[in-house]
Structures are given as structure tokens and as C-alpha cells.
A and B are shown apart, each in its own frame.
Chain A
Amino acid sequence: MKTFSKLSPAGCILVLSAFFFSSCVDKMSMPGESCARPPLIFPDYTDVSIPVNIAPLNFRVEGDVKACSATVRGEDGQTLRLSGRNQLVFKAGEWKKLLKGNAGKSLQISVSTLSGKGERTDWQAFTIHISADPIDSHLVYRLIEPGYEKWHIVGIYQRDIETFSEKVIIKNDLTGYNCINCHSFCNGDPQQMMLHMRATYGATYIALQGDIQKLNTRTDSTISNMTYPYWHPSGRYITTSVNEIRQFFHSVKGKKMEVFDLESDVIVYDVQTQTILSAASILTKDAYETFPSFSPEGDWLYFCSAPALPMPDSYDRIRYNLCRVPFDAVQGRIGSSIDTLVRADVHSASFPRLSPDGRFLMYSETAYGQFPIWHKDAEIRMINLSDGSQVDMSLLNSEDTESYHSWSRNSRWVVISSRRENGLYTLPYFAHIDSAGRPSKPFLLPQKNPDDYDYLLHSFNLPELVTGEVEISPYALQHAAKKLTATQVRFK
């Protein structure tokens, strides 16, 4: 008693903590009640396929959990044992070794928990399949509040998917709290990037091998600045839409807001000559064209097109077809015949993206309009281009919004935007696509601390897979925004 009274408060806390944890450990080591289902974990990593180079899949066990432990067994014989309060956190080195040793195989994870009442439960083991196909090392996304008309802090960030390192590419507090959007990369190359800024320092910024161009892309012949971009695989061209965008807010339950175009066209911009090619522009008054993209060979230009209806009155009747036209990269010219790949009879298509191997065309589909992010029914669809058939994507989709997607360079992984977690904040999920185009169950981007998602008040907007780190400094982009004079793009 005398000795105990001499302990400082910190010492008392240490002794009590040691006592608490030792009692938990004791109880955890005793056999418990078996449960015939896997534990409820966040993020849900049960029965998912993961790339061999992914960061540790740390997770927490949901429910009344005072302590938990897990045994992870690889098919190669490696075994890891983890324990924690309600989180199970892997050591980076051990995780890497485990994945390397089990590439193309599976992991069995057995979780035991101790409830607040001291009851131990041994949950049914779940499996994680490790694909030998690696995923592109970096994910670039915009973090933005999933908000209405007001933005506060917007930033484009890059996350090393193999670790937990997240770095800023550019944040709008460096550039007068303007809007920063539509980052895009040529073939996932971090050295060839573009993005737009709106309002203060409004311009399009193209960063090529460290050099930054600042462009004023509005011309007398186009209806707006460049909007939704996509690079030509050669790096010479960028196709974008030009849109006169409006929005309004719904009054009724189940609908929040609507974003629509009063007018839109598709153009092609020549990066070398800094001109918009009139020969490669789809400028029509009787149709709205938007969301262009190139095929991996660069010989087709895909886009979405809808007949021009009076807006906003027809906002829920407008549906976009998925079309393509031939593109001659040498001449910088668009062909005349338009193919319609998906007719918008009952649904509307947006964001066509071809797999880099050219075999699959993935796009978003919703009941109407061209802005799926606010549509709960929005889903990812995919066409097998070899026979034009639809691939079953039901494993990829959820009851909530799936709105965007980006391919890994090996065509084996996609990242999709989904609101399945809470119906409001868009988060990035990865899914494996096998050689037949079949998707696996998607899994959420792992975080060092899974609780980080709880307090996250931003959406991951436009997640783009990139093959390496974007090395351009945020201050270099800030300098370009503040000091460079924008070059006026010509309409040729």
C-alpha cells in the first residue's frame, strides 16, 4: 500500500492499463462461443480480391467489442497474429511479405472478439484472395464536400496505394479558395497531367514533364472553357466537352439536386499547337454532346450524346446515347459516321472509359441526365467490345450511387466511386476484372486507421489510377496560377 501510494498518477494509469489488458488477453486466450458467420468488419474486406501490392487492409470489428484478435493464415504457411481493442492493424513489412508469399493464393482470417460483458466469440473465418495482378501504384482524387453550391476546401491529392502516404497535388487554400477540378492524366502517366481552376486564377493548367502551361480555353467559337477532359494516348491531344452547366435543387424526398447542360459540345485540343481543332469538333445545336474519351489506340472518339431538349423543363426526360466516331490523329480530324453503341431508350449513359487493352467499355448509367453522382440509381455498366454484349456488373454495384470509374494500366483493376457506405460521401472502391471481364467484390481504399472514414467530411471525387507519383510541387502550381499569364487558345 505504501509503495502504491508513492506512484505518480501516470504510474497508476500504467499499472491499471496493464491490469486491464492482461485480463483481456487472458480472456482472449480462453476458448469462446463459435459464431457461424464472419464478423461484421469495417471496411468490409470479407471475400474480396486484392492486388499483390496493396497497403495493409487494417480494419475494425463492429459491435460491442472490448478486445479482438485475429489469426491470418496464408496458403504458403505464413501466419500472422494480431490483437487490438476493436481495430486490427497489420505491420507494413509483415503484410508485404504475406502478400508476396501468397500472390495468386488466399488468406484465411479468423477473428475472435471479447464483448463488453466479457463474452468471447470466435467468428467464422473469412477469405481474402490475393491477385497476382498488381494495381497502379497511385490514386489521384479530388477531396471535396459532397455539397450543393458552396465549396470550402477543395484539393487534389495523391495516395500511394502501396502505403498510406497521401500528398497534396494542389489545394484551393493556396489559390484563393477557388474551385479546382477535372484532373486528368495521359495513360495514367503522372508526368502528363491537366486540371482546371475556376473563379480566381481561372484557367486550364497542363503539366508536362514538370513544365506548367496556363491556358485560357474559352474562345469565341466555343460555348465555354474546356470542361470534362480525356487525353489522347499519344499525349498530343486532349478531348473535352464544352458545357453551359446549370443546377437546381429538388423539393421532394429522395432527390437532392440536378446538374444539367443548357448546351454542350465536344472538341479536341491540340497540346502542341495550343489550338482547338475545328475539324475535330462536334459542334451541333440539335444535340448535346459530352463526356468524350479516346480509345486506347486513339483511333476512336467516344462520347455521350442526347437530342437537345428544352432545359430545365426536360431534365428528367433527357437521356444520353453512348456513341463513337473515328478519329484521325495524324490529320487531327474526326470522321463523319457516328456509331451508337448504347441507345438511351430507358437509361442515360455517361463517362465512357475503355480498358487499356481495348476489350471492355465501362460507363455509368442512370435513369436520365448526364450527372449520375446525385442519382441513387446510377450504376456501372460494361460492354465486351468483342461481341457488344453487356457484362454482368451486379457484383460491382450497390443499392446506392456508383458514378465514376478508372482503369489500371494492366486492365485488371478498376477504381469506382460509390456512395454505398452512407449514401452521401463518395468513396473509392477497387475491384478486380478478370480476363473474361467478370468483376470481383469491390473493397474500400484501406486507411492506416479505419476510423478516419468516420470523421471524413469529404468525398473522393474522380479517382484516377496513376502509375507513379505526381512530382510537381503544389507551390509550383500555386506559382503558375498566381504569376503566369494565361495563353489564349485559338480555334483553328
Chain B
Amino acid sequence: MKRFLARPALFYGVFFVGSFLFFEINYRYWYRFMEQYSLFLYTEAYFMKLCEQPGGFNAYLTAFITRFFTFPYVSSVCLSLLLTLMSLLSARLLKKRSRLLSLFPAVLFCLFPVESIASVLAALTGIAAVSGYAAIQKPLPRYITGFALITVCYLLAAPAHLLAAAGMMICECYGAAGKKRFFPAFGWLIWALLCPLLAMRTLYVVPMREAFLGRHLFHPEYPIPASFWYIWCALPFIMLLVYGLRRPKPLFKEGLRQLAAVSLLVGATAIALVYGGHPLEQAYRYDWFARGQQWEAIVEDVARHPVKDRDALIYANLAHAYTGTFNEALLRLPQVGEDGFIPYDPKTRLELIEASEVSWLLNHTNSAQRFAFVGVLSSERNVQSRLMERLVETYLVNEEYKAAEKYIRILEMSKPHNPRIKELRRLLEPETSASTPWISERRRLTPLTDNPYDLTKTFPSALAFLIDDHPDNKAAFEYAMGYLLVYKELNIFMHYMEARKERGEPLPVVYQEAICLFYTAVQNEPETLRSYSIDPAVYQRFLGYMQQLKGLTPALLSRRYGDTYYYYAQFVQPPRKPVR
């Protein structure tokens, strides 16, 4: 038993399984979301373009690995493997004195999950470099190797060179006696700091931050998160701790210590599994379903779980609209008003995808194109494969075949065998696209009246133009009526109902309830009410509500009529209209 517990394979095996479960349960959709921002191209030009930047090879490798994150378990397996490898290398550097401490850098990656694995790969490269350096005993070969390793780390995987230099410094400081040991130590520090400065003058024209840290760890326009520094200081910190402190006399026997270590690891994993998770997990999950057009999956999920935030609500509304259940679900969902239908003036990555998705649903092709375009630009690496596909779709609808082909060509370089891309190429033939139902239907519903209204900033006005042009634009009509009902704007709602009545189209229950309420409580016109085709059951229920209104307790009233529009209109506070 003692031997079994002492085996590193058991300890690191437990860590691998624990981290795999942690990422798979809590971050599965987060990494799938991030995959969209990595458009790996199988071209030499792409490779050269990335390699012309500090840390570019690391970015290339990251893009290649990330390309497979859409497949089940790949991201979790990949991250767990990398972190376990990192821990094993750290343990080697710590001279196997403390297995728990060797997990420290990897655990920090779990506590502060990164957007791309570029950071993990760079850290791993740095740790591997220190490990290789520390393994060489003879000074001169070690110094030559150290110089080469820092340089290569910088060129291929910056900022790995900083971690490598820090590790090498510590190795030198604690590896020998005498003052001479400090010369190589500080030499590494100076070389690691000089490398980017020299490269700025000779190889690259880049800002200081990029010269030191590379471009691809984080979005270049955003500040570096504090977690980066915690993670990157972790290895030097534990090395200092282990090398610098005298080894304490063990309090327990070896077997007991190993048992405690494994138990601690298992306990921490269990806590992480229960309490970990990304706050936007639901939104990212819905985004994944939306990406695959699995709208039913979102509707099913919404039926089982509460909608937690605005982004998830936008997808829930979208999914209900796609599945023809928008009106039924309107009052069941925790509507927050305009922002729950479409994000206002979208800026973030998720918002831009949402805005493009909603615009696409509403057949506002130009807006779908615009937000897709801005979404592509706003990404870290200037690409967004999913929105690039959307761009192609919008250009096909707008009959701009040359622009569509431009993006198809790029997508083909990334996904040469993808059937969807092949299908898009086939649609470059004008006759083929004209006879494709989704394209011809969207062309039919293209806005006719030009107007300057931004769908995200002036949602109701832009919607009004859409449905004035095409009253049969079902999605736009439902969203517009949903907006009016949520804000209780019954007068305007009735304007559209009159037009709908003239067209003789059937009315969803929520509309019927609103009409009953309007012609009874707002305008007492029973004759006009009769002119609408109201389901007798809906009308009888409404009459029952009116009769029991004063007799029932609020709780009972809510239980019996809480799902009706007239209850909502009377007792539920509508969302506040945003003041922009």
C-alpha cells in the first residue's frame, strides 16, 4: 500500500483525472466558444505570418490544437495533459521534494482559466527549458544551452523566456556556492530582458508589451489580467520556497504523507467540481447550440433550468423564435426588456455574435453582416470562423458573390473538407443560390425601405420598418409584438393587431389575452372584441379572471392566472426602459 501510494503515477494520475473532470464539467463550452476565435490555416503564408511575431510559433501551435476543441473531450483532455505535464516537469525541478507544491502552477491555471492555451503552452515551454538546463551539470555546456534556450524560447514562445530565465537564475543561485554563481544568474535575467529590446530594433516593429509577452496570450487591446502574473510567478516562487528553505523534519511517515497528499488532491478536486464553473457557462452552452442550429436543445434546456443572465435570455428568445414557440414562452422567460431581445450597441465578442444572430433571424441582412464583420475584427487574432461563415451567408443573400468567395477561400484554407464550406461554395452559382430555399426566402424578406435605424440602438423603430415592408416577416413581427407586450404598449400593439385581423391570420394565445384585456379594461368595446377570432376557452378564462379578481388572494390569483398576459399587465412590473 505504501509503495502504491508513493508512486508518482497515482498522484499525477489523480490530478489528470481531476483536472479533466473539472474542465469537462465546468468549462466544456467556454473552450468551444474560444475555438471560434482561432482560424488555423493550412498554408505556408499563415505559418510564416505568425512566425514573424514574437512567440508566433506558439501561437501557430495553439491555433492548430484549438482547431480540434469542437470535438468532444478534446479541450479537457488537452488541457489536463498539458497541466499534468507541467506538474511533472515542476516536480522534477523541485527535486521531487513536494508533489503538492509541484501542482501549484497548474492549479492556478485551473483557478484562472485562460482564453487560449497559448499561455499554458508558453509556460510549459519555459518550465521545460529550465528543466533541461538544470539537468546539465558541466558549467560551460550549461551556459551555452541556457543562452540558446532563452533565445529560442523568446522567438518561438515568448514570454516563455522570462520564466526560463527566472528558473535558471534560481537554479544558479542555489546550485553552487560562492559569489561567482550570481554572475550567470544575473546574466540570464539581463539576456531575457535584452532579447525583446533587441528584437524590437531588428526583427519586429511591435509595442513593448507585445515584444516581451508576445501577441497571442491575451486580446492585445485589453489589459493583461492580474492572474497572468500570479501564474507566471508561481514556479519561481515555489522553486525559491523549496530551494531556499531548509527541508523540515517530516512530522509523519512517508506512507501517511502520501495518503494525505492524495486525499487532499481528491478533496480539492471534489470542491472544484462542485463550486467551480464559469459565470457565463449557460450563455456559452446556448451559444454552442446556436452555432450548430440546435435550437430545440436550448428550448429543452430552458424548460428544465432557469435562465441565469441576459446573454442566455437572448439565446432563449432566439431559440423560441426559431422553434415557433416565441409567443408561448414570452411571459415564461424572465424578460428584461429591449436588452433581452438584442444587446444594445454590442461591443463584446458574445454580444456581437448575439446581435448578428438576432439580426439574421429578423432578416435584417445588412445588420447581420455588419455585426458579423465587426465581430470578426474584434477578435484577438482578427478572425472568427463562425461569423466569417455568417458573412458568406449574408453576401450570398445580397448577391455579392465575389465578397462571399473571398471568405469561402479563407474558410477552405482552414477547413478543407468541411461539408458546410463545400455547400457554400456551391451556392456561388447565382442560379443555385436563387433556387436555394433559405436564400430565396431571405431575399424575399430583405428590407425595401432604406432607413438609418440601428437595430441594436433603436430596436422598435428598426423593427417597425421591417414589418412595414414585410408584414409576413414572422420573426420580426413576433419580436416587435413581444417588445410591445413586455412594455405594455397596448395601443401600438392593437394597431398591428388590426392589420393582422384584416389579413385573417390566426392569433397566438398571448395576443388574444392582450386583445381581451384591451377591449375590456382599456377601451370597453365588446363589439370590436368580437370582431377578433378569440378562442372561446381563452375568452372564458379571461372572464373568470375578471370575476375572481377581487375575490382571490394574490397567491391564488398568481397560481391560477400567473401565466396569462392580463395577469402580467396588471400585477407584474415591466422592465424599465433604458435611458441612453
* Chain A contacts to B: CB under 8 angstroms: 145, 147-153, 168, 171, 173-174, 177, 248-256, 312, 421-425, 449, 451-452, 454-455, 457, 474-475, 478
Known: A147-B373, A148-B370, A454-B409. A422 touches B382 (CB 8 A): no
| Closest A residue to B371 using CB positions | A148
Is the CB–CB distance between B205 and A174 below 8 Å? yes
Is the CB–CB distance between A153 and B402 below 8 Å? no
Can you give 6 A-B contacts (C-beta < 8 A)? A153-B382, A173-B206, A249-B370, A251-B451, A454-B409, A455-B46
B200 contact set on A, CB distance < 8 A: 475
Q: Is B398 an interface residue (CB 8 A)?
A: yes
Known: A150-B378, A422-B406, A455-B46. A249 touches B367 (CB 8 A): yes
Is the CB–CB distance between A254 and B377 below 8 Å? no
B454 contact set on A, CB distance < 8 A: 249
Could you tell me the distance in whole angstroms from the C-beta of B324 to the nearest C-beta in chain A? 26
Q: Max chain B CB contacts within 10 Å: which of A251, A452, A454, A475?
A: A251
Known: A252-B366, A424-B403, A454-B409. A173 touches B446 (CB 8 A): no
| Closest B residue to A258 using CB positions | B452
Known: A250-B366, A251-B450. A422 touches B374 (CB 8 A): no
Interface digits, B35-46 against A, CB 8 Å rule (1 contact, 0 not)? Answer: 000000101011
Is the CB–CB distance between B207 and A255 below 8 Å? no
Is the CB–CB distance between A454 and B410 below 8 Å? yes
A454 contact set on B, CB distance < 8 A: 406, 409-410, 413
Is the CB–CB distance between B373 and A148 below 8 Å? yes
Q: Max chain B CB contacts within 10 Å: which of A145, A249, A452, A478?
A: A249
Distance between Cα atoms of A223 and B381 in the complex (Å):
37
Is the CB–CB distance between A147 and B374 below 8 Å? yes
B322 contact set on A, CB distance < 8 A: none
Could you tell me the distance in whole angstroms from the C-beta of B213 to the nearest C-beta in chain A? 13
Is the CB–CB distance between A248 and B446 below 8 Å? no
Distance between Cα atoms of A248 and B462 in the complex (Å):
13
- Specify which of B205, B373, B374, B447 is in contact with A171 (CB 8 Å cutoff): B205
Could you tell me the distance in whole angstroms from the C-beta of A337 to the nearest C-beta in chain B? 38
Is the CB–CB distance between B366 and A457 below 8 Å? no
Is the CB–CB distance between B465 and A149 below 8 Å? no
Q: Is B112 an interface residue (CB 8 A)?
A: no
B46 contact set on A, CB distance < 8 A: 455
Can you name 17 extra interface pairs (CB under 8 A) apart from A149-B374, A173-B207, A253-B447? A147-B377, A150-B378, A152-B378, A173-B206, A174-B206, A174-B207, A177-B220, A248-B452, A249-B367, A251-B366, A251-B367, A252-B447, A253-B366, A421-B402, A455-B46, A457-B376, A474-B205
Distance between Cα atoms of A310 and B452 in the complex (Å):
15
Is the CB–CB distance between A252 and B446 below 8 Å? yes
Could you tell me the distance in whole angstroms from the C-beta of B454 to the nearest C-beta in chain A? 7
Q: Please count how many residues in chain B sit with their CB below 8 Å of the partner chain's CB atoms.
A: 45
Distance between Cα atoms of A248 and B364 in the complex (Å):
15
B453 contact set on A, CB distance < 8 A: 251
A422 contact set on B, CB distance < 8 A: 402-403, 405-406
B206 contact set on A, CB distance < 8 A: 173-174
| Closest B residue to A251 using CB positions | B447
| Closest A residue to B208 using CB positions | A174
Is the CB–CB distance between B406 and A424 below 8 Å? yes
Which residues of B212-232 have CB atoms within 8 Å of chain A's CB atoms? 220-221
- Specify which of B220, B409, B446 is in contact with A253 (CB 8 Å cutoff): B446
Is the CB–CB distance between B400 and A423 below 8 Å? yes
Is the CB–CB distance between B365 and A253 below 8 Å? yes
Distance between Cα atoms of A184 and B530 in the complex (Å):
72
Could you tell me the distance in whole angstroms from the C-beta of B476 to the nearest C-beta in chain A? 12
Which residues of B290-310 have CB atoms within 8 Å of chain A's CB atoms? none
Is the CB–CB distance between A249 and B452 below 8 Å? yes
Distance between Cα atoms of A425 and B453 in the complex (Å):
25
Q: Is B448 an interface residue (CB 8 A)?
A: yes
Could you tell me the distance in whole angstroms from the C-beta of A277 to the nearest C-beta in chain B? 37
- Specify which of A168, A421, A424 is in contact with B205 (CB 8 Å cutoff): A168
| Closest B residue to A153 using CB positions | B382
Q: Max chain A CB contacts within 10 Å: which of B43, B205, B370?
A: B205
B370 contact set on A, CB distance < 8 A: 148, 249, 256
- Specify which of A145, A251, A425, A449 is in contact with B377 (CB 8 Å cutoff): A145
| Closest B residue to A458 using CB positions | B382
Distance between Cα atoms of A120 and B41 in the complex (Å):
30
Q: Is B137 an interface residue (CB 8 A)?
A: no
Distance between Cα atoms of A147 and B375 in the complex (Å):
11
Which residues of B342-386 have CB atoms within 8 Å of chain A's CB atoms? 364-367, 370, 373-374, 376-378, 382-383
Interface digits, B185-222 against A, CB 8 Å rule (1 contact, 0 not)? Answer: 00000000000000010000111001000000000110
B365 contact set on A, CB distance < 8 A: 253
B446 contact set on A, CB distance < 8 A: 252-253
Distance between Cα atoms of A422 and B409 in the complex (Å):
12
Distance between Cα atoms of A312 and B450 in the complex (Å):
13
A148 contact set on B, CB distance < 8 A: 370, 373-374
Q: Is B449 an interface residue (CB 8 A)?
A: yes
B403 contact set on A, CB distance < 8 A: 422-424
Known: A422-B403, A455-B46. A250 touches B220 (CB 8 A): no
A255 contact set on B, CB distance < 8 A: 366, 450
B366 contact set on A, CB distance < 8 A: 249-253, 255-256
Could you tell me the distance in whole angstroms from the C-beta of A200 to the nearest C-beta in chain B? 11
Is the CB–CB distance between B43 and A451 below 8 Å? yes
Distance between Cα atoms of A144 and B40 in the complex (Å):
22
Q: Max chain A CB contacts within 10 Å: which of B41, B200, B452?
A: B452
A151 contact set on B, CB distance < 8 A: 377
B376 contact set on A, CB distance < 8 A: 457
Which residues of B399-437 have CB atoms within 8 Å of chain A's CB atoms? 399-400, 402-403, 405-406, 409-410, 413
Distance between Cα atoms of A251 and B465 in the complex (Å):
9
Distance between Cα atoms of A153 and B450 in the complex (Å):
31
Known: A177-B221, A455-B46, A474-B205. A150 touches B449 (CB 8 A): no
A147 contact set on B, CB distance < 8 A: 373-374, 377
Could you tell me the distance in whole angstroms from the C-beta of A44 to the nearest C-beta in chain B? 14
Is the CB–CB distance between A455 and B413 below 8 Å? yes
A250 contact set on B, CB distance < 8 A: 366, 450, 452
Distance between Cα atoms of A125 and B377 in the complex (Å):
42
Could you tell me the distance in whole angstroms from the C-beta of A214 to the nearest C-beta in chain B? 19
Distance between Cα atoms of A312 and B451 in the complex (Å):
11
Could you tell me the distance in whole angstroms from the C-beta of B574 to the nearest C-beta in chain A? 28
Which residues of B267-306 have CB atoms within 8 Å of chain A's CB atoms? none
B399 contact set on A, CB distance < 8 A: 253
Distance between Cα atoms of A425 and B378 in the complex (Å):
18
| Closest A residue to B352 using CB positions | A150
Distance between Cα atoms of A474 and B452 in the complex (Å):
39
Distance between Cα atoms of A252 and B367 in the complex (Å):
10
A153 contact set on B, CB distance < 8 A: 382
Is the CB–CB distance between A173 and B210 below 8 Å? yes
Distance between Cα atoms of A156 and B220 in the complex (Å):
19
Is the CB–CB distance between A452 and B406 below 8 Å? no
| Closest B residue to A315 using CB positions | B452
Could you tell me the distance in whole angstroms from the C-beta of A155 to the nearest C-beta in chain B? 9
Q: Max chain B CB contacts within 10 Å: which of A148, A168, A252?
A: A252
B450 contact set on A, CB distance < 8 A: 250-252, 255
- Specify which of B45, B210, B449, B462 is in contact with A455 (CB 8 Å cutoff): B45
Distance between Cα atoms of A149 and B375 in the complex (Å):
11
- Specify which of B45, B374, B452, B462 is in contact with A449 (CB 8 Å cutoff): B45
Is the CB–CB distance between A423 and B207 below 8 Å? no
| Closest B residue to A399 using CB positions | B402
B43 contact set on A, CB distance < 8 A: 451, 455
Is the CB–CB distance between A457 and B382 below 8 Å? yes
Distance between Cα atoms of A336 and B374 in the complex (Å):
46
Distance between Cα atoms of A475 and B365 in the complex (Å):
42
Distance between Cα atoms of A174 and B210 in the complex (Å):
10
Is the CB–CB distance between A425 and B406 below 8 Å? yes
Distance between Cα atoms of A475 and B364 in the complex (Å):
44
A451 contact set on B, CB distance < 8 A: 43, 45
